[in-house]
Amino acid sequence: MLNIKNLHARIEDGAQILKGINLEIKPGEVHAIMGPNGAGKSTLSSVIAGKEDYEVTEGEIIFDGENIIEDAPEERAHKGVFLSFQYPVEIPGVSVTNFIKAALNENRKANGLDEMPAKEMLAMIREKSEQLGIKKDFLSRSLNEGFSGGEKKRNEIFQMMMLNPKLAILDETDSGLDIDALRIVADGVNAFKNEGNAVLLITHYQRLLNYIQPDYVHVLANGKIIKTGDKSLALELEEKGYDWLLN
């Protein structure tokens, strides 16, 4: 599904951050990326999603057999790449529901589909919001306006479940993630996951991996993946930190 080859990227007119990333993600897999602060984890997620502050200087990002490096962020989203928003924007006057309806229909349109019939949309909103314990009044609130950390998380995961991407990239760098927010993310990912999609989970929190079983754990340091293992690597990192890997 995703095949990243020798990816080098830098900040527009700035420092080289990614220095040769190789990563292959197959359908049905969950990959976790961990690593010290400043390693380039958020940069990697932004570069996969196509955020414009970064420039790819070498390498390829193959998604579903196509190099997507030249694609705009929206095109990548339409192809099925989802990136959770670390700092989501507030949109006064646009409700959680109306935002997701518009996003979903735009996605369908870009893929040559008609708008989802209102009844079907409503049923889907009901199903997904119930799975996440989202109440009706939350759905009619203005997007992100006055949302708590947990509510922002819940909204992000709701967006992921509604848009049903092939690849969901979740960048959980928010130091404010309390145990409730971890649970929201974990429950959402576990409900979302199936044999046809994949999750790239970027996290500082070993704890999160107690709730989400990763197939692979990678350590990213200084712009490179320096070690790959299974879930036991996350436990080892929790115990020993990163220093033993950095020399």
Which residues contribute to the site for ligand ADP (CB under 6 A)? 11, 14, 17, 35, 37-43, 53, 173
Tokens of 55: 């420039």
Comparing every residue's Cβ against Mg ion, the nearest one is 42
Which is closer to Mg ion, CB of 45 or CB of 159? 45
Q: What six digits make up the tokens of 114?
A: 């008609």
Shortest distance in whole angstroms from residue 205 CB to Mg ion: 12
To the nearest whole angstrom, how small is the minimum distance from the Cβ of residue 41 to Mg ion? 5
Instruction: Choose between 27 and 88: whose C-beta lies nearer to Mg ion.
Output: 88
Q: How near is the Cβ of 13 to Mg ion at its closest, in Å?
A: 21
Q: Which stretch binds Mg ion (CB under 5 A): 39-47, 109-117, 145-153, 213-221?
A: 39-47
Query: Least CB distance from residue 29 to Mg ion, whole Å?
Result: 21
53 binds, among Mg ion, ligand ADP, none (CB under 5 to 8 A by kind): ligand ADP
Which of 35, 80 has the CB closer to ligand ADP? 35
Least Å distance, CB 196 to Mg ion, is 28
Residue 86 touches Mg ion, criterion: CB under 5 A = no
Amino acid at 89: V
Residue 3 touches Mg ion, criterion: CB under 5 A: no
Among 173, 213, 222, 228, binds Mg ion (CB under 5 A): 173
Strand ranges of the sheet holding 66-67, from the earlier edge strand across to the other edge: 16-25, 2-11, 54-63, 66-67
C-beta of residue 158 within 8 angstroms of C-beta of residue 130: no
From 23-31, 35-43, 100-108, 228-236, give the range in contact with Mg ion by CB under 5 A: 35-43
Interface residue list for Mg ion (CB under 5 A): 37, 41-42, 173
